[in-house]
Amino acid sequence: MIAPLLSKRALTSIAVAGLLAAAIGALQFLRGRVYYPHVVVEVQNNARLEFLQEGVPKDADCQATTDAIADTIRVTCPTCRVATKQCPGKLEPEREKLFSEEPVAVPSSRLPHGVVIYISDDKELALAACRETERLSVTTKGFRAVCYPPNTRRPLPGSPKPQRLETWQALAGFVVLLLTGFASAFTGYLIVRYEALHANWSFDPVKTGPQKFHATPIPRIGGLGVMAGLFVSGAALLATDQGAPSEQFGFLLFASLPAFLGGITEDVTKNVSVLARLALTMLAAACGAWLLDAVLPRLDVLGLDTLLKRTPFAIAFTIFAVCGVANAINIIDGYNGLAGGYSVIVLAAFAYVSVQVGDGFLLISALAMIGALLGFLVWNYPKGRIFLGDGGAYLLGFWLAELSVLLVVRHSEVSPWFPLLLLVYPIFETLFSIYRKIVLRGHSPGQPDGLHFHMLIFRRLVRSPAGSLDRSELTRRNSMVAAYIWTISGFCALMALFFWRDTPWLIAFSISFCICYVWVYWRIAQWKAPPWLIKR
């Protein structure tokens, strides 16, 4: 019996790894088939200009662009000579760097869809040519070729002064929050009202494992309400507005489907393995990378950022990170209101920063999920009439992870450690649990136990009268656990909002949280928790 079981697990692991490799290869193919228009122009005094445009998907388009640049140079500068016209399919690292904000060793100017650098043995001459280009471009309506001297930061267009949200975008976000909330709450009502019709396949039984702490069987299909709310809002947005935010919201909703379907199928059948759910979440992350370009460009970590410049590694790392966050949210979803309330706090922080950087799509996406969770919490907290389930937890975790990635991708002024500090609790909870199970206990990391941080809070901080077996008392203790986690996440969110641009501060607070977590965990485990933490 053991050999076939091991073989099945090995085959499942190979299948998951194969799916990840296939997703990376497909995305690399879709993203990598671009051609970069590159034109080198020689001018007087042994100087030259290099024009490099953003990649285009067809070689014919690239050739047309290089021809247009060359023709313009010949007309405007008869003494100049076009030395090179080419369309490389891949750029060297120093050429890729030209599209970033990082400093370069020569003067440069940004074009509407590219960059030009000025090269000469006489550095003063090159800088003078760069500044002359800026002066002349002032007369060009709608564009100014700002000159950046050597070794200076070169902000991307729009990054120094974030755009402001228009009034209609803020109003649309508020309407989406209300609409999603009502749809989610109504779906929750239907689940509770007609639970007798689906009890045989939707109920989560009591006392069937170390992670069950409810008094009576409860429907675990609350994720249906969350998804229903998002679908209603998505349909309303697409019906009333054909702009980019509505279309992008539709892409995000579509990408989330594999993660949600894997979880909700487990809620109903109780027969979907963890590896299968993780594989579907990887597929969801791959869809996000394809449809929304949600691929992490940086983490502000020396060495890792260099690797992230390589597209296959960046795709693989992003898929792994999104999958990890989704699984982490599923792990902390153990008590009434815990995961839902925690996520509302995180999403509120996302919404605030989205306003600061003027991103209507991210604002609407954050508010939509906030509304869906508030509608769910009407029935989940404090009495636990429905549970989020794996479907809701994986959907929520994917949504949080994707918004984190997109915020960093779309806005270079946002530190990647801003979403990391917001999500540090579930991420570190997962990592610490893996360490605790493998190193300290010698168990498989996938084996469930009753020693997660929130479970220790329930058992050792939220105490009941001796010998009390009352169901209402158990439900009261269950709901009190969330307040501890909300307080922790609220503090992290507050610090993240104060320093959302400042990576060093965000790293410092993240490390401080991890240290405090281990200390508090050890104190609670040793029955040495401070008296003021204990509630009776």
On whether residue 345 sits in a domain, the answer given is: yes
- Which of 117, 148, 179 finishes a domain? 148
Range 305-311 average pLDDT: 86
Residue 134 lies in a domain: yes
Q: How far, in Å, are 18, 162, 225, 231, 384 from residue 192 at the CA level?
A: 41, 45, 11, 20, 11
Confirm whether 257 is domain-assigned: yes
Among residues 268, 211, 202, 205, the alpha carbon closest in space to that of 447 is found at: 211
Give the residue carrying structure tokens 């209603």: 232
Whether residue 360 sits in one domain with residue 284: yes
Neighbours of 122 (CB within 10 A): 12
Domain with 77, as residue range(s), is 38-148
Chain segment 113-156, per-residue pLDDT in tens: 788 888 888 888 888 888 877 777 655 445 567 788 888 777 76
Q: Examine the domain organization and report whether 65 and 188 are in the same domain.
A: no
* Same domain? 251 vs 326: yes
- Same domain? 380 vs 467: yes
Whether 91 and 238 share a structural domain:
no
Same domain, yes or no, for 77 and 189?
A: no
Please indicate, yes or no, if residue 18 is contained in any of the structural domains: no
Say how many domains are in the chain: 2
> Does residue 208 belong to any structural domain of this protein?
yes
Residue 236 placed within a domain: yes
Q: Would 302 be classed as within a structural domain?
A: yes
- Give Cα 399 to chain centroid, integer Å: 7
Specify whether 284 is located in the same domain as 432. Answer: yes
Q: 1 falls in which pLDDT band (50, 70, 90)?
A: very low
101 and 191 share one domain: no
Q: What is residue 114's predicted lDDT score, i.e. its pLDDT? A: 83
* Burial of residue 305, with CB atoms counted within 10 A of its CB: 0-12 exposed, 13-18 middle, 19 or more buried: middle
Residue 395: alpha-carbon gap to chain centroid: 12
Identify the pLDDT of residue 160.
39
Domain-embedded: residue 8 = no
Separation of first and last alpha carbons in the chain: 48
Tell me: do 88 and 43 sit in the same domain. yes
Residues 371 and 505 in one domain: yes
Helix ranges, 270-337 (H): 274-292, 304-308, 311-332
The most confident of 65-74, 101-110, 191-200, 367-376, by mean pLDDT? 367-376
Domain boundary among 88, 115, 148: 148
Of the spans 244-258, 417-431, 443-457, which averages the highest pLDDT?
417-431
39's enclosing H/E stretch is strand 38-43
**pLDDT winner (highest mean) among 140-149, 161-170, 209-218, 225-234:** 225-234
pLDDT of residue 45: 74
Are 344 and 401 in contact, with CB atoms under 8 Å apart?
no
Q: Do residues 141 and 189 share a domain?
A: no
pTM for the full model? 0.75
Per-residue pLDDT averaged across 441-452, rounded?
76
Q: Which of 83, 118, 148 is the last residue of a domain?
A: 148
Task: Judge if 133 and 183 occupy the same domain.
Answer: no
